[in-house]
Amino acid sequence: MRTFEYLRAEDAATAVVEAAKPETRFLAGGTTLLDLMKLNVERPARVVDITRLSGLDTIEVSADVIRIGALAKMSKVADHADIKEAAPALSESLWRAASAQLRNMASVGGNLMQRTRCTYFRDPGAYSNCNKRNPGSGCAALDGVNRNHAVLGTSGVCIAIYPGDFAVSLVAFDATVIVRGASERKIPVDEFFLLPGDTPHLEHQLSAGEMIVGIEIPRSAALERSHYLKVCDRESYEFAAASAAVGIELEADGKTIRDVRIAVGGLATKPWRLRVVENLLKGKTLDEATLRTAAAATVDGAKSSGHNAFKIELAPKSWHAP
């Protein structure tokens, strides 16, 4: 691990000023950053501790919107009674992630910023050729063991998967990421994460000196009737082989789909919204035949790299309407 300077920010304004300096990273829960620093993947010269910033760990559920501070712990959000009632998929995506110990430490803002678990990315000593870590060096995963890599949103230079669960549920329900720097701005979470293209080292829309301060999720009938399903090699403490956040609203007849939201994880280089599938379902009768037909479109455009071909078969089976 590289020797680094440690600073503790007492307010948000100081934090963003310090973070704008070169080779600086924020420290919140530290459950991802510290791991990557030990692996020499992340090598910051300066670390700005934001854990003491006040007002950034609140959870508010109003009639129209859910607001979650970026420093709120994963476990606190998952266990919040109003979240479980108004947005069950959000709660489920959090408590199904990681271990209880990690959920008690990790912040939801940091959870959005977690980086891929690609073995080649996380082992710079053995693999120098990683375009995400070392732009222009190549991608060891393309011809390597790539069972856990992406089949959607890939490019010719990167197939690393986005590993998180919470962001998948946020993408499904049109959440917004609130970012503070020199000024405050709001970014739709579906636009916050970037496709790898030719620049896989650029993973999100944050600029130097900006930090996530909160998340907003508009309330909807589909969100209230939502579910997060996760298929893993192990039952717990495992990243998704395929996952889905699904919410549905029916017409008064109880059979016709008025609104539906679907996003999948474990399959793509970013949390993946299935808008085409949603449009196939809206206005249709909710029955098994309709769901199977729509689910087949989950993997339209998917591309196998070899070992991960099973994901293309698994994905349509990984979501269902509650």
Is residue 21 a part of any domain in this protein?
no
Where does the pLDDT of residue 321 fall: very low under 50, low under 70, confident under 90, or very high at 90 and above?
Answer: very low
Q: Give the up-direction half-sphere exposure of residue 263: CA atoms within 13 A in the CB hemisphere.
A: 30
Q: How many domains would you assign to the chain? A: 1
Q: Is the pLDDT of residue 39 over 60?
A: yes
The predicted structure's pLDDT at residue 237 = 74
Instruction: Give the dihedral sign, CA 93/215/9/80.
Output: negative
Tell me the residue range of the domain where 212 lies. Answer: 55-317
Label residues 213-235 b or e (16+ Cβ within 10 Å = b): bbbbbebbebbebbbbbbbeeee
Residue 41 lies in a domain: no
**SS3 state at 103:** helix
Taking only the tens place, the pLDDT of each residue in 273-313 is: 999 999 999 999 999 889 888 988 999 999 999 999 999 98
Q: What's the confidence (pLDDT) of residue 322?
A: 42
Q: What is the tens place of the pLDDT at every residue in 53-70?
A: 999 999 999 999 999 999
pTM of the model: 0.94
CB atoms within 10 A of CB 284: 16
What average pLDDT does the chain have?
A: 94
Whether residue 38 lies inside any domain: the answer is no
Which CATH number covers residue 281? 3.30.465.10
Beta bridge partners of 60: 67
Q: Is residue 27 in a domain?
A: no
Residue 295 lies in a domain: yes
Read off the tokens for 269: 């280089």
158 within a domain of the structure (yes/no): yes
- 306-308-310 Cα angle (round to 5): 110
Each residue's pLDDT tens digit, 141-175? 999 999 999 999 999 999 999 999 999 999 999 99
Q: Would you say residue 119 lies in a domain?
A: yes
**Which has more pLDDT, 120 or 314?**
120
Tokens of 22: 């070169």
Number of H helices, E strands in the chain: 13, 12
Tell me the pLDDT band of 319, cut-offs 50, 70 and 90. Answer: low
Residue 13 lies in a domain: no
